[in-house]
Amino acid sequence: MSPQTLLKELLVEPEASPFSSESFDKYVMTTYGRFNIALERGEGCRVWDTVGREYLDFVAGIATCTLGHAHPALIEAVTKQIKTLHHVSNLYYIPVQGELAKWLVDHSCADRAFFCNSGAEANEAAIKLARKYAHEKLNIGNPTIITAHASFHGRTLATITATGQPKYQKGFSPLVPGFHYVPYNDVAAIELAIAELDKDERQVAAIMMEALQGEGGVRPGDVAYFQRIREICDAKGILLILDEVQVGMGRSGKYWGYENLGIEPDIFTSAKGLGGGIPIGAMMCKSSCDVFEPGSHASTFGGNPFACAVALCVCQTLERENILENVQQRGEQLRDGLNKMAAQYPNLIADVRGWGLINGLELQTDIPLTSADLVKSAIAAGVLLVPAGPKVLRFVPPLIVTEAEVAQALAAVEKALASQSV
C-alpha cells in the first residue's frame, strides 16, 4: 500500500471519530495549520489518537517533552505538588523556585535566574535587561540589538521584531524599533554592521543569537563565528545573549547549546524542554549585567510552585539518569542513518546537520518535494515529524528515545524517500 493510500485512510472524517475537527474549528481561532490528527494519550515516546492509532513521537511538542509522555518521575512530581501548593504570588519566597534557580546556576555559567512562562517571555526579559543595561551602564540613549536573518525568538511584538524572518512580521507593523539583522555564521557581516551602526549613532547594546537556529532550518552555530562575537562583545562592552529555548536543556547533547561553541554568554534563555511540557521559561544572566530591581520586570505565573517543581524534576532526572549520554548516542545513530540516506538519494537530499537530538534533513531546492510532504508520508507510517521551513525535515524526539525507536523513524523516512525517488 502506498503512503498516499495510507494517508487517505488516516485522515478520518469527523463523523467517523469521537473527535470533531469541525466543532473544534468553530470555537478555536485558526492560528495553526493542523494535521488531521487528534491526540489524546501518550506514554514514553509514543502517542495515541482519538481512534486508537499509535504514533512514534519525533516532535515531542516541538522539542519540549524532554522526558517523553507520562514519565513516572514527572507524574510523581506533578501529583505531589498539586496536593501541596500550586500557585502563590512572587510577593513571597517560593522555596522550590530557589531550588530550581540553584540547579540552573550550578549547571551553567549563569549567576541568577528570572522565571516566566514561555520562550517568548524569556527572550522579552532578555531584551528588556539588555536595554536597561545599555541605558544605565553603557550610557546608550538609542540601544540597538543585533540579531540574525532566519532566526526565531518568539511571537510577542518585540520578539517577532527580533526574529529575522519577514513572514512572521507581516501584518503587525509598526514593529518595535531597535533591532538590526545580519546573516548567521558570517563574521565579516557582523563586524561591518557594528561599524555602520556606530556611525549612525545606533550604538549596539547586545548581540542576540541562537546557538543553533531551529525554526531557521536546524543550522548549528559556527564555533569560530561565535568565538569572534564573544571577542567583539568583550572589547566593546556589548552583551551577548543566546536564545537556548529550543536547543537548551540537554537537547544538543550538552546541557546548553553554548557549550558546543566554547564560549559563555552574558544572558541566555530557556523554555520548551525546561518543564518537559509544563509551561515555564527562564532568563538567566551573569551578575555583572543584572540591573533588574524590584519593579523592573515581573510575571504573575512565572516561577510558581507547580511549574518549578516539575522543571526541577526534569533537571534532576536528566542528571540522575545520565540522559545526556543517551542524547549523544541516539543523535549519532540518527545522523548516521540520515547521512546514509543522503548518499543513497543525492537527487533528493542536500544536507544533514544538527547536534544531539535536534537534527535536520534538508531537501534539494530544485525538486517539488517539501518537508510537509515527508511529514505526511511519515504520519502514514506511524511517525510524527515536524518541518523547519519548506525544505527541512526536523527530528526532535524526547531525550529518552531508544535505539529501536530511532531505527523505526529512519525506516519511515527512508520509505517515503524511496517512493519519491521511484
Tens digit of each residue's pLDDT (9 = 90 or more) over 360-419: 999 999 999 999 999 999 999 999 999 999 999 999 999 999 999 999 999 999 999 998
Residue 12 annotated as binding site: no
Q: Convert the pLDDT of each residue in 27-66 to its tens digit.
A: 999 999 999 999 999 999 999 999 999 999 999 999 999 9
- Residue 336: all three cell numbers together: 548516521
Q: Convert the pLDDT of each residue in 383-397 to its tens digit.
A: 999 999 999 999 999
Please check whether residue 279 is in contact with residue 240, taking contact to mean a CB–CB distance below 8 angstroms: no
Please check whether residue 164 is in contact with residue 158, taking contact to mean a CB–CB distance below 8 angstroms: no
At residue 201, the pLDDT reads 67
φ and ψ at residue 200, rounded to 5 degrees: -85, 5
Residue 78 annotated as binding site: no
* Cβ partners under 8 Å of residue 233, min gap 6: 207, 239, 240, 266
At residue 17, the pLDDT reads 53
φ and ψ at residue 207, rounded to 5 degrees: -115, 125
Q: Convert the pLDDT of each residue in 332-358 to its tens digit.
A: 999 999 999 999 999 999 999 999 999
Residues facing 363 on adjacent strands: 349
* Residue 191, amino acid: E
Q: Which is nearest to 278 in space by CA: 250, 316, 308, 248?
A: 308
Residue 119 annotated as binding site: yes
Residue 196 annotated as binding site: no
Residue recorded with cell 552583551 = 239
pLDDT at 2 over 90: no
At residue 422, the pLDDT reads 61
Q: Which is nearest to 412 in space by CA: 55, 92, 8, 161?
A: 55
Residue 243 annotated as binding site: yes
Residue 244 annotated as binding site: yes
Q: Convert the pLDDT of each residue in 221-278 to its tens digit.
A: 999 999 999 999 999 999 999 999 999 999 999 999 999 999 999 999 999 999 999 9
pLDDT at 303 over 60: yes
Q: Please report which confidence band the pLDDT of residue 19 belongs to, taking 50, 70 and 90 as the band edges.
A: confident
* Residue 228, amino acid: R
Residue 28 annotated as binding site: no
Residue 246 annotated as binding site: yes
Beta strand 383-384 with 54-57 is parallel
Beta strand 239-243 with 219-220 is unpaired
Q: Please report which confidence band the pLDDT of residue 420 belongs to, taking 50, 70 and 90 as the band edges.
A: confident
Residues facing 73 on adjacent strands: none
Please check whether residue 145 is in contact with residue 206, taking contact to mean a CB–CB distance below 8 angstroms: yes
pTM: 0.93
Q: Please report which confidence band the pLDDT of residue 218 belongs to, taking 50, 70 and 90 as the band edges.
A: very high
φ and ψ at residue 354, rounded to 5 degrees: 150, 180
- Separation CA 151–CA 55 (nearest Å): 30
Give the end-to-end CA distance of the chain in Å, rounded to a whole number: 15
Residues facing 209 on adjacent strands: 242
Residue 40 annotated as binding site: no
Torsion of CA 319, 322, 324, 330, to 10 degrees: -150
Residue 120 annotated as binding site: yes
Going along 110-167, which residue ranges are E strands?
112-116, 144-148
Strands of the sheet containing 392-395, edge to edge, are 349-355, 358-363, 392-395, 386-387
Q: Please report which confidence band the pLDDT of residue 11 belongs to, taking 50, 70 and 90 as the band edges.
A: very low
At residue 3, the pLDDT reads 41
pLDDT at 148 over 90: yes
At residue 347, the pLDDT reads 96
pLDDT at 15 over 80: no
* Residue 383, amino acid: V
Q: Please report which confidence band the pLDDT of residue 215 belongs to, taking 50, 70 and 90 as the band edges.
A: very high
- Separation CA 388–CA 103 (nearest Å): 31
Tell me if residue 95 falls in helix, strand or coil. helix
